[in-house]
Amino acid sequence: MNDRPDDRPNGEKPDREPPSRARVVIWVVVAAVGLYLVGSGVWGLLTPG
């Protein structure tokens, strides 16, 4: 049995904090770069050249 302080007697999971604003901004930037790379790759496949 775990003796961690975040364990609750009823087996409930501890409340999780929402992600910080900086982490959300980082994920949005990473997603935008990924979408750009995928989009440019598809564009390169579809256009002759």
Q: Which residues touch 20 (CB under 8 Å, ≥6 apart)?
A: none
| Domain boundaries along the sequence of the chain | 20-49
- Determine the pLDDT at residue 13: 72
48 confidence band (pLDDT: 50, 70, 90): confident
CB 35 within 8 A of CB 42: no
User: Contacts by 35-43 with C-beta closer than 8 Å and gap 24+?
Assistant: none
Q: What is the pLDDT of residues 11-46, one digit of tens each?
A: 677 788 999 999 999 999 999 999 999 999 999 999
| Greater model confidence, 49 or 33 | 33
DSSP secondary structure letter of residue 47: S
The pTM score is 0.63
